[in-house]
Amino acid sequence: MQKLFGILQHQQATWKPAWLEALNTQKFFVACSFHEHAKKNEKNICCLDCCTSICPHCVAAHRVHRLLQVRRYVYHDVVRLEDLEKLIDCSSVQSYTINSSKVVFLKKRPQNRQFKGSGNICTSCDRSLQEPYFHCSLDCKVEYILRQKKNLSAYLRPCKILQLGPDFFIPHDADDDTTHSTLIDVDEPMGSSDSENLSAPCTNFVRKKRSGPYICARSANRVSDEDMATNMSRRKGVPHRSPLC
């Protein structure tokens, strides 16, 4: 009985939720194999319910799942502190400010040179830190908790809903069918009579070549062909020189 209790205690001390393991093992910012020919197909989202990395084109299939956006900073994966704190206690993990948002690193960043000087150092990778932090990444804190044989579940927080931020861009594969007004270049006015111009709506704008005026086909005060020809053929009078004295 005591041996069984020891085994259970050991499993509890080394237990880690599947989504937390996925954040550490899944590869991000690589091309999605399901959308390899699509644009913006980098896998920058972690589905916490499926425990896998997905791209923006996969969001529709995971829209009811908990989704965590992963960002890139100095060639390392980071997550917004505001989002991660909904899942786990991130105290003592050093945060950095990127685009007015605080982020934390997901994985440890070993330092080649040994730290010399005053200040705190990371509990796992000996990286120099600012006070009052003791971990340089989420992975370092989790490793420290398990190494101390503490119960990791005490640091987890219940989170049933986690959605992407409103600024996250989700590409649409369908083309936009939005219509636009166009400019057409013609030599003569559109339409043959004033009644047709008043009853039929038109979204086109008519422009006379070079010096001709802009005429909107929607206008009720339609200029007739004869007036138009008169205006275009109007010339200035011949200038007269003053008599020589």
pLDDT of residue 242: 62
Query: Predicted confidence band at 238 (pLDDT cuts at 50, 70, 90)?
Result: low
116-137 residue pLDDT tens: 666 788 988 888 898 899 999 9
Q: What is the pTM of this model?
A: 0.64
pLDDT of residue 67: 96
One-letter amino acid for residue 145 of the chain: I
Specify the DSSP class assigned to residue 174: S
88-127 in b/e form (b: 16+ CB < 10 A) is bebeebbbeeeeeeebbbbbbbeeeeeeeeeebbbbbbeb
In 3-state terms, what secondary structure has residue 155? helix
Strands 67-69 and 205-207, bridge-based pairing = unpaired
Strand partners, 88: 156
Q: What mean pLDDT comes out for the span 36-55?
A: 94
H or E segment to which residue 138 belongs: helix 138-147
Residue 222 has pLDDT above 70, yes or no: no
pLDDT of residue 143: 93
Phi-psi category of residue 3: left, alpha or beta, with phi > 0 → left and psi -120 to 50 → alpha: alpha
Q: What mean pLDDT comes out for the span 142-167?
A: 91
Q: 62-71, 131-140, 166-175, 218-227 — which is least confidently predicted?
A: 218-227
Residue 141 has pLDDT above 60, yes or no: yes
Q: 48-57, 67-76, 162-171 — which is least confidently predicted?
A: 162-171
Q: Of the candidates 182, 109, 97, 102, which has an alpha carbon nearest to the alpha carbon of residue 140?
A: 109
Q: Indicate the average pLDDT of the chain.
A: 75
pLDDT of residue 241: 62
26 with 52: CB under 8 angstroms?
yes
pLDDT of residue 195: 38
Percentage of residues of the chain with pLDDT beyond 70: 62
pLDDT, greater one: 46 or 244: 46
pLDDT of residue 189: 40
Query: Predicted confidence band at 207 (pLDDT cuts at 50, 70, 90)?
Result: very low
Percentage of residues of the chain with pLDDT beyond 90: 44
Query: Predicted confidence band at 19 (pLDDT cuts at 50, 70, 90)?
Result: very high
Angle at alpha carbon of residue 42, lines to 55 and 124, rounded to 5°: 95
Q: What mean pLDDT comes out for the span 101-117?
A: 81
Angle at alpha carbon of residue 136, lines to 133 and 137, rounded to 5°: 120
Q: What mean pLDDT comes out for the span 51-61?
A: 94
Sign of CA dihedral 23, 25, 29, 31: negative
One-letter amino acid for residue 147 of the chain: R
pLDDT, greater one: 235 or 178: 235
Residue 212 has pLDDT above 60, yes or no: no
pLDDT of residue 110: 77
Query: Predicted confidence band at 93 (pLDDT cuts at 50, 70, 90)?
Result: very high
27 with 53: CB under 8 angstroms?
yes
Strands 128-129 and 120-121, bridge-based pairing = antiparallel
How long, in residues, is the chain? 245
